[in-house]
A and B are shown apart, each in its own frame.
Chain A
């Protein structure tokens, strides 16, 4: 058994380290690249007329002035030149010097300036990843190919959210999803896992083997109740690095018929207002941390609504909307706000829903992976992936066919 990383601590008397983010101004075309990078895609603009791939993002093809569209491209390349920057006027990079960058000839065609992994030297083959920097903008990072992710590279760590040794709050650890997330966090080496339990707590809950694992601390927590939330956070006693919001209130039912207003209100209290409460209380705590992150588990029904789960889908849609605003607010603090979309989960709330359903353990693995790859938007399982594909392709059509 591997030794557990000790929990990271902070001297409460020391002046807090000011956190800066990289320069954030970008062109509209670059924002389009970032939107795709957020999904973990490696894309470049390709001309619809002559097929030329181009970079940096442009508004017309430089070879024939044809129209450019974003396409998934080969991510290999060769390193042509490199430098180690020792001096900069930017506050963020001053905190992280020396900084390596290089010139890469991409297999897809264009030449790109990239962030560079420490093990690479000119002439080397590289794999270029399209990641998000601490300001949330797309950035190319060249890594040694076929070596997996080297999370010890200090520069790469700026683009991801390490879990080892971190303090993580799981807002609803009582559910099947929550338990799976607590277990995955423990297995990955989180320092302290604060497991929120919706009161009234049943005696049997605390006996669950996952909640008795080393480094797991059970606290009563109802994110629809500000007092409960404040009390839970006050029990953490130290810095909070990551919040994983697994709270949701899944109930079937329509709008005009089969409606239970009480359940619908509860869904909004947990998913939407609950998110605001968490954002208000946890946002400032996360903002002081070197790798703060907020992960929200959200239903793919948030994209279009769902006639069968009308109230739930509406609450999830409100949650998605609030999450976008929260992400915007956290950008300048460097805190990452990640959305993990899922379809029906293999749990007590989806007993009457036919497969495919997402196993809670798979969802938990996807959350850890999203953190460790710094991916802003993830879809877990076939239902969520299918929903996202259709929604991206034609939102009006998808809203119709989803609610036929």
Chain B
């Protein structure tokens, strides 16, 4: 039996920033990282000398890692981390930075994800994504993540009787949420008819099941409640977090993620239940993963996502406001920054700084990450519950 994790007393999360995404950018990831820091400087009045902890995530900063970024951006942190977990990197940056602050290894940690998207860079980054993908996935039609998730979706639909229309409801709701977010790349209203009529990409995955790769950056600060207050920054506390990698490798096809292993301890540590959540920000590279998270995070039982989706409203003013900035499906998928926007958006909603419409009375948000399709499934999962510090 694993030890009960310590609380996150003495830790505050604040200053979410988003560098507006663009479909293609001629700039490097370093430029996007610099823009995120400039936004933080404006928003939180910090200078390079204030930052004593730095946590970085990117797919396109090569050959540099977090190390190269310190010199490039003039940082001299006493604590440094580089997070390679893609779509789960936001939650993982948050929980690492939180412990660094709590233990006094750093006081102001900037967590930052930045990725560029050149013409053809998606194809190039696929080619060198992982050893298993290079050996045993991409030579099989080179469908990229679309094909891998098509297989997961195919098996999931067959096993649980969930339909394309159910997935469509999620995508339509997220597009409606994106409508109020001026930074979302795709804001044109989406109807269920248009969703269902879209061209196939890799059956059963169709066009509106897929995210749009883009360039962008996201960042937030992890510090102490005292420092946040001194600087006048609205902040949140961390109620609980979980993280898991390569969970349940015996499942022949992924129908659940690592959350399923850890979720009971998560709600126990947070001291709340799923019904206490005001807004849910989950990783949404494909709607099947959203459905899986609804189950694995405890909003409904395994196999019951279809019924749950049918009876729930996911709009900003609905029963369970989901991916309120539009998620990656509508806001855009800026590489590792895509794994940070759940944290920044979840934080924004509870500290009253949303990019678009505000979830009425939001106080607690749940953010969930999912990353790195190393072979046939996503390997990294994590989740965090955030509560406004009032």
Contacts and interface: CB of A to CB of B under 8 A. Distances in A.
A107 interface: no
Interface of B: 120, 122-123, 126-128, 131-132, 134-144, 146-148, 150-152, 154-155, 158, 199-205, 249, 252-253, 375-376
Interface of A: 22-23, 25-27, 29-30, 55-57, 62, 80-90, 92-93, 99-103, 105, 111-115, 122, 133, 135, 137, 139
A137 B136 CA distance: 10
Contacts of A88: 141-144
B75 to A, nearest CB: 35
B139 to A, nearest CB: 5
Given A26-B135, A102-B151, A113-B136, A83 B143 contact: yes
Contacts, number: 121
Contacts of A102: 151
A90 B142 contact: yes
Nearest to A100: B141
A85 B202 contact: yes
27 contacts: A22-B139, A22-B142, A23-B139, A25-B127, A25-B128, A26-B135, A30-B135, A56-B135, A80-B253, A81-B154, A81-B158, A81-B253, A83-B151, A85-B150, A85-B201, A86-B203, A87-B201, A87-B202, A89-B120, A93-B141, A101-B151, A111-B252, A111-B253, A113-B148, A115-B141, A122-B154, A133-B139
Contact of A83 (B139, B147, B199): B147
A23 B139 CA distance: 6
Given A103-B253, A115-B141, 20 more contacts: A23-B142, A25-B128, A25-B134, A27-B131, A27-B135, A56-B135, A80-B253, A81-B158, A83-B143, A83-B151, A83-B203, A83-B204, A84-B203, A88-B144, A90-B123, A92-B142, A101-B143, A113-B136, A135-B139, A139-B139
Contacts of B140: 99, 101, 113-115, 139
B123 A111 contact: no
A113 B144 CA distance: 13
B201 A86 contact: yes
A269 B143 CA distance: 48
A86 B376 CA distance: 19
Contacts of B253: 80-81, 103, 111
A85 B144 CA distance: 10
A121 to B, nearest CB: 11
Contacts of B139: 22-23, 133, 135, 137, 139
Nearest to B154: A81
Nearest to A57: B135
Most B CB atoms within 10 A — which of A30, A133, A135, A139?
A30
A58 to B, nearest CB: 9
B155 A89 contact: no
Contacts of B141: 85, 88, 93, 99-101, 115
A84 B376 contact: no
A27 B139 CA distance: 13
A80 B136 contact: no
A111 B148 CA distance: 13
Given A23-B142, A25-B127, A83 B137 contact: no
Nearest to A115: B140
Contacts of B137: 113
A20 to B, nearest CB: 11
A103 B202 contact: no
Contacts of B143: 83, 85, 87-88, 99, 101
Contacts of B376: 103, 111, 113
Nearest to B251: A111
A83 B154 contact: yes
Contacts of B158: 81, 122
Interface centre among A82, A101, A133 (most CB of B within 10 A): A101
A64 B245 CA distance: 18
